[in-house]
Chains A and B, each alone.
Chain A
């Protein structure tokens, strides 16, 4: 597991290699509910990735908020698609437990993000505001056609690059947009081709017409390479704070 890195005060992210099955160490962080949810995933590799990422998420939550009992927290998916933490212990919260609300976005003041791919899981936990994370193998092929998800300016820049640099640049933009989408509700409502990634890591919303001239920064992204095999983007929402 990579060491925790603070990208901003209150945010921790970690990555963990994924092998053929969760290690005993990873399993020690899983609850019975996690295991039951894993059993519901039919594809074996997808199940392993889910379980490893879930264990990593629980471990990172315990690190970010050691005052919370990680075993009595359930992790659900809210309507936005974000993972959300819910306190399920009726002894701790007798009024909440019978009325679990998976739409709660920031229960207990924790913001979570998860991504996994073949070989690596990545999670981010923040006590500050919405975060997003995305990971892809550096050698990944098969990116969707550029005109589907790049802004016109990004398409122009992409076309001007040497062919040998295009795939790396596309992957960098892809993980940044995925992380920004996860970090920001405003971004989630936008097509990827309306999210502009600056070299500095700022993520802008692109105006779509003359009647709609406003652009604004909605997130900030940082990139990291892991073991020269994976590219991780970590986004922190700007407008969501």
Chain B
């Protein structure tokens, strides 16, 4: 896995949170909660693990930006390129 690729990281993390699913096959524009049957606890676990792996702080106000796979990739890509002060 490319540790700097947010999509690969998200899929790996989601595979651990929802092991009965295949996150690589979800519609990347649809809500992950519906696609993978995640709830708010799963969502926070996903964000906590991704945040820890990438070493970036993700404020709770930004969580809604990570509700889809594409949205999460875009958000993380932006944060990795220009970390918050």
Contacts and interface: CB of A to CB of B under 8 A. Distances in A.
A191 B30 CA distance: 25
Contact of B35 (A43, A117, A140, A190): A43
Nearest to B27: A42
24 contacts: A40-B34, A41-B34, A42-B26, A42-B30, A43-B35, A43-B36, A45-B37, A46-B33, A46-B34, A46-B37, A50-B34, A142-B41, A143-B41, A144-B44, A144-B45, A144-B48, A145-B48, A148-B44, A148-B48, A149-B44, A189-B61, A190-B60, A191-B60, A192-B44
B35 A42 contact: yes
Interface residues of B, number: 19
A149 B30 CA distance: 26
Interface in B37-70: 37, 39-41, 44-45, 48, 59-61, 64
B4 interface: no
Nearest to A189: B61
B29 interface: no
B59 A191 contact: yes
Contacts, number: 40
Given A189-B61, A192-B60, A144 B41 contact: yes
Nearest to A177: B40
B25 to A, nearest CB: 10
Contacts of A87: none
Interface string A76-107: 00000100000000000000000000000000
Contact of A43 (B34, B45, B48): B34
Interface string A182-216: 00000001111000000000000000000000000
Nearest to B45: A144
